Amino acid sequence: MELACTDEGHNGVESEEKDKDYSQTNSTAAEPERKFIDGKWYCLNGADGFLVYEENNWISAKDDDIRQKWDATLPFTASGSNPIKCVVDGVVMEWNQISQQWLPKVDIDENFLAQYHSNYGINYDFNANEGTTSIERSEKTEKNAAVQKKHKLHDKKEEQGWVELEEDKNTAVYVSNLPLNFTEESFIGLMSKCGVIQRDARTNKLKIKLYRNEDGTLKGDGRCSYIKKESVVMALDILDGWNVEGKIISVERAKFQMKGEFDPSKKKKKLTAAQKKRFIESQERIFEWKPEKPRNYRPISDCTVVMKNMFTIEQMMSNAALVLDLEEEIRKVCERFGTVKKIVVHDNNPEGVICVTFQNVEYSDSAVRSLNGRVVDGRAISVALWDGKTKYAM
């Protein structure tokens, strides 16, 4: 708030000549000295009198101790080199242009920082920004961001290079001095003595390899990857020094060497989360405990019988209702042997196939014994148990 005071009896009217001379010597009128005492503004009124600013007006001060308080208070200054200051109850106050209020003047020293950090828990370095402008700090921040981005790109480039396989995760062994006429089947049979060979997650093929020359002939060495690292220890203890067709083979942990420069285009695509889950579950199923099957165990596929030569394609093309007629007729015949759960007529199969599923294998065995070799419409039909693999739908 802009404050101004004048001496009592001043009529506020000046002559044109005085105004002209005053404007030539000073750009603004010199204000009388004023001080902030006991929460109020005071200024001199003549030699010994004082004025106090109350209710937006300057009135005569009636405080008898004002002279003593006036002398003990620092003067109000508003020069460009010094901040606006005053003393209130012995506390030096500064006018804050941003918040538009008087705030206590605080000297930032070690004691102040210690008390501030204990209250707020923020360790801020005030000296770091001392003497720097906002533009300089902004440039410094941008420079640091550019350096960090450069480091990230460099680290990412390094990650795309060759990656060494950790020893505790390496389940591959290298076999040398193999017979030159050794086949992959023989190699699989040899290495399976010490554990389960790992399969490729993409191709589902066993991860074994016999190294060959450029002309395709065997070099006499190979590599095998196991599922369990314990199999590697067994291979080193058992197969190392084994006599294979008159040759003493050597078995050691496989060591992978990086050849050539890294080519991202040749890098295999990573497995999805679902593919990894299926691959891990398939490996775990290999080692899970399964109860022994009883001696009289029969697969569930034995409940289904396959009847062939039951119809021709020409008959199906000429009679659209033949499918329903055959299904009804077969159900009547097969229910004599036991409960029928399902009948499927494969009308597009050239072998004239009808599949019948019974409730148990006793019913299906009876149907095979009774119906196999019968003659239907001049055709000898074939009835057998389903192998569980063959698909007859066309």
DSSP line for 101-133: EEEE-----HHHHHHHHHHH-----GGGGTT--
DSSP 95: E
Who's near 75: CB < 8 A, 6+ residues apart? 33, 34, 35
pLDDT score at 190? 93
Which CATH number describes the domain made up of 169-255?
Answer: 3.30.70.330
Q: Render pLDDT for 60-81 as a digit per residue (tens, 0 to 9).
A: 887 777 788 877 776 655 444 4
SS3 225: strand
Handedness of CA 85, 86, 88, 91 (dihedral sign): positive
**Position 157 pLDDT exceeds 60:** no
Average model confidence (pLDDT) for the chain? Answer: 78
End-to-end CA distance of the chain: 96
pLDDT score at 260? 58
Q: Residue 56: left if φ>0, alpha if ψ -120 to 50, beta else—which one?
A: left
SS3 83: coil
Q: Render pLDDT for 339-383 as a digit per residue (tens, 0 to 9).
A: 999 999 999 999 999 999 999 999 999 999 999 999 988 889 999
Residue with tokens 């006793």: 362
301-385 matches 169-255 in CATH topology? yes
Maximum mean pLDDT: which of 61-65, 119-123, 153-157, 181-185: 181-185
Judged on CB neighbours under 10 Å (0-12, 13-18, 19+), 351 is: middle
CATH fold for domain 301-385 = Alpha-Beta Plaits (3.30.70)
Judged on CB neighbours under 10 Å (0-12, 13-18, 19+), 63 is: middle
| Among 87-101, 274-288, 309-323, the least confident range | 87-101
The Cα–Cα gap between 309 and 312 comes to 7
Residue spans per domain, the chain = 16-104, 169-255, 301-385
Q: What is the mean pLDDT of residues 102-113?
A: 72
Nearest residue to 225 via CA among 268, 279, 173, 183:
173
**Position 24 pLDDT exceeds 80:** no
Q: What is the mean pLDDT of residues 79-107?
A: 65
| Among 24-28, 244-248, 259-263, 330-334, the least confident range | 24-28
The Cα–Cα gap between 244 and 223 comes to 16
What DSSP string runs through 33-76? PEEEETTEEEEEETTTEEEEEETTEEEE---TTHHHHHHHSPPP
Q: Where are the beta strands (DSSP E) in 232-347?
A: 243-244, 247-248, 250-253, 304-308, 340-346
